[in-house]
Amino acid sequence: MGKTWFITGASSGLGLEMTRQLLARGDRVVATQRREGALADLGRAHGERLLVLPLDVTDAAGMRAAVAEAFGWAGRIDLVVSNAGYGLFGAAEEVSDDQIARQIATNLTGSIQFIRAVLPHLRAQGGGRIVQVSSEGGQIAYANFSLYHATKWGIEGFVEAVAQEVAPFGIDFILAEPGPTATNFGAGLVHAEPMAAYDATPAGEVRRAIAEGSFVVWGDAARSVAAMIAAADAVQPPLRLVLGSTAHGSVTAALARRLAEVEAQRNVAFSADRDM
């Protein structure tokens, strides 16, 4: 028997690819979109197994209503995928107050409120699994993506804590951490107004690399989604699922550096204890 999934941000990128793969294998999907008509073709082909709902994740009240409608239609939802989000590109000094507020409201607060909205329904049905689409950028950082990283590091900390809170109810989590992947993520970047002062800095280097298309993107969207689905189907999936060779190399190196720094501070760390 097929499973039922609830996916936000399904009108493009990994969310759209996941919706396609799940419907192709016979599952049911509740898919949310901001752009009307983006899922029209899938609706015509799989209308009886696909419910499309409009959703703006920055509208908490509207989100709770959409979640209630989704569970009402499905009866039971086995897997929830929090995928909606985008990237804000620019040095911290370059981005505007409005850009910062929207980035946090969408990627961080929106994801938090979505998870909060589905938890009562998952508890009531006796459990379920939540896949939070994060990024390699939830464990490492690139210049010019500081606000994006703030949201991804933030949602990872939130999920680690909530996973402990809801484990007794049969609810668990996967943090999917794809590296650079061939999707429309780059085209969807919101760009800050560049400042000449940053031209000769790492921020300027990253800006030029993005503009010139010199980053090699190894990640494949279909394969990344297939790996996410396989993990979600597993009896005991990992909390963190690193996707792509770039992400694996970057995250491994970052964790090794971080651990070495902590180990080097052992004497200093212990010296901060009070006498007992």
User: Does residue 14 lie in a domain region?
Assistant: yes
Residues 6+ apart with CB under 8 A from 268: none
pLDDT in tens, 184-200: 777 788 999 999 999 99
Catalytic residue among 11, 134, 135, 250: 134
Residues 6+ apart with CB under 8 A from 2: 25, 26, 27, 28, 49
Catalytic residue among 12, 111, 135, 148: 148
User: Does residue 59 lie in a domain region?
Assistant: yes
- The mean pLDDT value for 237-249 works out to 96
- Is there a catalytic annotation at residue 135? no
How would you classify the pairing of strands 28-33 and 88-89?
A: unpaired
- Residue 114, pLDDT > 90, answer yes
Residues 6+ apart with CB under 8 A from 250: 136, 140, 179
User: Does residue 239 lie in a domain region?
Assistant: yes
Strands (E), 93-239: 128-133, 171-178, 190-191
User: Does residue 253 lie in a domain region?
Assistant: yes
What CA–CA distance (Å, rounded) separates 89 from 99?
10
pLDDT in tens, 116-150: 999 999 999 999 999 999 999 999 999 999 999 99
- Residue 171, pLDDT > 80, answer yes
* Backbone phi, psi, residue 126, to 5°: 95, 15
Domain at 242, CATH number: 3.40.50.720
Catalytic residue among 152, 198, 224, 250: 152
Q: Could you give the C-alpha distances from 83 to 123, 133, 197, in angstroms and in order?
A: 21, 5, 35
- Is there a catalytic annotation at residue 3? no
User: Does residue 139 lie in a domain region?
Assistant: yes
Instruction: Please tell me the predicted confidence (pLDDT) of residue 219.
Output: 86
Instruction: Please tell me the predicted confidence (pLDDT) of residue 103.
Output: 98
Q: What is the pTM of this model?
A: 0.94
User: Does residue 276 lie in a domain region?
Assistant: no
- Residue 35, pLDDT > 80, answer no
Report how many domains make up the chain: 1
Expressed as residue numbers, the domain containing 31 is 4-271
